[in-house]
A and B are shown apart, each in its own frame.
Chain A
Amino acid sequence: MLLLAFGLLNDTTTTKPQQLDEVAVVSRSQGSKRSIKGNVASIDEHLKELNHVSLVRRGSYAWEPVVNSMQTERISITIDGMKIFYACTDKMDPVTSYVESGNLQSILLNSGLNGNPQATGNIGGSLDLKLRRAGFDGDDFHMGVDAGYESNGNLQVYGADAAVSKKSFYTNGGVSYRHAGNYKEGGGREILFSQFQKVNAYDNLGFRLSEQDAIESTFIYDRATNVGYPALNMDVAKAEAFITSLSYKRHLEEKLVQSWETKAYYNHITHVMDDTQRPNVQIHMDMPGESWTTGLYSLVGAQKGIHKLTGNYDLYYNRLFADMTMYPGGAAPMYMVTWPDVGTLNTGLALNDYIQLGKAHAVNVSAKLAWQQQRLNSQEGYQALSVFFPGMKQQYHQLTGRIAANYQLSTLNSQFSIGMGWGNRAPTVTEAYGYYLNNTFDQYDYIGNPHLKNESAIELNGSYQFKIQNSKFKIDCNAFFFSDYIIGLFEPRLSAMTVAAEGVKVYGNIPHATIANFSLTYGWDVLPWLKWNTRLGYSLGRDNEGEPLPLISPFAYTTNLNVRLGRLWGKVELQGNARQSNFGRKYGEMPTAAWAIVNLSANYHFSIFTSQLTLRAGIENLLDKRYTSYADWCDIPQKGRNIYMNLSVEL
């Protein structure tokens, strides 16, 4: 199910709240799920609020979103429906790092296989970062300024944006700047190489051609420099993205077709790694990577009786190139191609039908079919990989698809939903054609396997929500049963390349794997001004030998008290994980200890003349506890005590 651009041609409007989806509202309006830090929060901090999402940290910046315990390989991330692919072979730059909170209206999460027709290759779920557009019906003129500071790491965030909205034209744009030094863990020790700095500028335009149609465009420029990654052996000198799109939207009054949008887009990412800041580098390496994507989609929304249909056709071409030059002191440089300039042409057709069976129940069915062709354009990269896979081809194609259905039943006080689906995905460029990519998690060099089979999964999910007097309970669970699960497998016959690596793993398919996630949420309105919320979560992952998979959350809990007194709102929160007893030992994971932290936050909303101001302040990790979670790459510690404050002004 999905938030569609129905009705007028302003930004997304919710048709009805849905259970499988969650929305983190990033923009100014007060939403139920958004980071307590408000506008200056990073996208990662907004993502943390979503139920099915966790984040893998390699540093203080650019965390990797994980949906239903599945990382980037198994999920789809789009920006306003546009495909975009990260450019770093070490996953230092998930695509969420190339936009800023100021660019976004909301982040839409579809859990599992069901949902977003614009997602391709998603098994765990899909995230669509919806851009903020002023629309034709907003205030004539609007301006906002944000400034924030955090004590741990001396983080400073500044942002300004403006919007002009007329009947036939709108534009909104802004700039922001984010800068932090090294942060400190609990106890005060500084975590070296955890600094970052980022600049972002964007502009959206809209021209109304008639009562029914409009043209819209987007431009985003994002540039991060001098970014440190304490969990890795290298940092980033520059990570830069250009994101542009042009779309045509039409609102129809027809009996059947109600809306139609066609968008063409282009994005280009440049990512340059840097090891010159690190001491004791045995061999200096240059490791640049680039990603280009151009594509289009055409989305149609229709209504026929009890059916609400969405159809989407998409086509994109993506090119990924990365190489590595090593400079051993004195001797000749060593060069190899790590992503062999892979060109992927992918086209897909998706169909969603939301059927309102009656007042109380509905069924949502979604399906997608996609075909893709890949070519290794680097002759040198192709020849290098052929040493390990003699006789391999230079061109491959894959067919992928998914189909899922979900049934919802609502009564006065409860909501029940059950769903199932089947889907498969093609291997990523790293899994199929990656060449000697070092993984600091397990200290192995990974080589891609062009002969991998598509990975497929069957999903079962269910949730039940009910209200009793002033409290609300919700149980949510899902399970994914994989076939041909893609994972790196030990290859003792091969020799590692990275100095001090343990050995080589080659990606392969294991016959089965299972991932399951459970969560229980409880909310109690104790008093009109006092709310108590609790969330408990647990996940498990097993491979075909019954061994635990890595990066699966142990038992996790959050409980908080929210107080609202007039314009002042405050929260006390306890957050923690149990000891990770099921850890992926076979995959090089180390267990993490149990931890718990206390957070305090408050915000105060007031107005001066016509301006609206919000002042937020809080203390994260009040007791300055030193801790690390299962999702911290190489067990890098989380922040110690952090006092933050920020001010948002809207004129």
Chain B
Amino acid sequence: MIINTFVSLLFVIFTLSACDSKEENVVPITIPTDVECCSAEETFLAYTFLHNGYLKEIESLRDTIDGKYALSVYSRSGKLHVGYNDIFFALTKISNQGYVRDFSVTEITPLMNMSAMGMKHSTPTASESTTYDESFPAVQHAWVSFVMSSTENDYWELSYKASTKNQSTIHENSQLEVNAIAAGQAWLKSFKVGNDTYYLSLVNPTDWQTGRNTIQAYVSKKSSPATTPYALASETFTIEIDPRMPDMSNHTSPDNTPLTKQADGSYQGNINLTMTGLWRIHLTVKDAEGNIVAGEEELSSLYWDVTI
């Protein structure tokens, strides 16, 4: 009880000092005692996470479930770019503004409409959301790795299904703006093995700093038909990395470890960066038997570019 009042007080202080005063979702001053809704602590953590300054809402993706719940979708800076993007979902109960704890977002389907060619295709996606952090279940996480940017004639759309325990809604295709990635960055590459196309999506390399970093990526396979979201490749690969600085006579760092498949389906390894600047991460993709399926051994032509 005392904790609740204390957290509410913190909330008031937080609201009054919040930078973004244009926020439409008014922060609740009282924490509702509702089974569906989060506890005070969970609400506080969810709120601070969604308002940490990095995330912003993508308003075109907003929706409601049955007039009772409001779903908000967030990305870094409210923008989307070519390659891997984190997407966060938060569901609030309209009546009392409380964050809802048990909900999920599924059937996440991005679609590219190439009007000139009359063609549509999808992109590597996490089709279902997962709880981002167990200490605040109010926030669900998914990701989409866009293979290209939107242009004048070619546009992206996204649809999803949002469900609580009892109700659900289908959000129909909303148009999205996907920007090209900045110069000196190339976080999405693809390779072909026979008739199959695979995509290598590098996860958030701008989080890296000088020193030792975890490098994470997803390997997705192009679906058939191509309008279905591209799921994670079922095969197990090993992605060997050779990070080089092309502006520095291909200076490299020691003790980098290849990306190997983890239990959750992502690929993870270690990358050491000796300084900031442009790093070209040359990739040699090997299959489960150790045969090279993409790239070459020395200074592979398949590479990610990261500028930190």
Contacts and interface: CB of A to CB of B under 8 A. Distances in A.
Contact of B209 (A331, A332, A380, A494): A380
A380 B276 CA distance: 10
Contact of B254 (A335, A380, A494): A494
A387 B274 contact: yes
A383 B277 CA distance: 16
Contacts of B3: none
B251 A387 contact: no
A336 B274 contact: yes
Contacts of B248: 283, 326, 328, 334, 497, 499
Contacts of A333: 276-277
A332 B254 contact: no
B254 A328 contact: no
A335 B277 contact: yes
A387 B247 contact: no
Contact of A336 (B184, B275, B307): B275
Contact of B251 (A337, A380, A382, A497): A497
Contact of B211 (A334, A387, A494): A387
B251 A496 contact: yes
Interface in A471-492: none
A182 B209 CA distance: 43
Interface size class of B (residues with CB under 8 A): 20 to 34
Contacts of A384: 210-211, 274-275
A312 B80 CA distance: 66
A436 B274 CA distance: 10
A331 B275 contact: no
Contacts of B253: 387, 495
A493 interface: yes
Given A383-B209, A387-B211, A332 B251 contact: no
A386 B307 contact: no
Given A326-B277, A331-B307, A436-B274, A336 B210 contact: yes
Contacts of B211: 380, 382-384, 386-387
B212 A331 contact: no
Nearest to A494: B254
B190 to A, nearest CB: 24
Contacts of A496: 249, 251
13 contacts: A331-B184, A332-B276, A332-B278, A332-B307, A333-B276, A333-B277, A334-B245, A383-B212, A384-B210, A387-B212, A387-B255, A390-B212, A499-B248
A380 B277 contact: no
Contacts of B130: none
Interface string A316-350: 00000000001010011111110000000000000
Interface string B172-214: 0000000000001000000000000000000000000111100
Nearest to B277: A334
Contacts of B8: none
A336 B277 CA distance: 9
Interface size class of A (residues with CB under 8 A): 20 to 34
A382 B276 CA distance: 14
Interface in B271-292: 272-278
Interface in B210-268: 210-212, 245, 247-255
Interface string A379-395: 01011101110100000
A331 B254 contact: no
B276 A334 contact: yes
Interface string A357-392: 000000000000000000000001011101110100
B71 to A, nearest CB: 38
Contacts of A497: 248, 251, 274-275
A500 B251 CA distance: 11
A495 B307 CA distance: 19
A495 B251 contact: yes
Given A334-B248, A380-B210, A384-B275, 13 more contacts: A283-B248, A333-B277, A334-B247, A336-B275, A383-B212, A384-B274, A387-B212, A387-B253, A387-B254, A390-B212, A493-B254, A495-B250, A497-B275
What are the 9 closest A-B residue pairs judged by CB atoms, nearest first?
A383-B211, A334-B277, A328-B247, A336-B275, A387-B272, A495-B252, A335-B276, A332-B307, A384-B210
Nearest to B182: A332
B254 A336 contact: no
Nearest to A436: B274
B247 A336 contact: no
Nearest to B245: A334
Contact of B184 (A332, A494, A495, A499): A332
A201 B184 CA distance: 49
A361 to B, nearest CB: 59
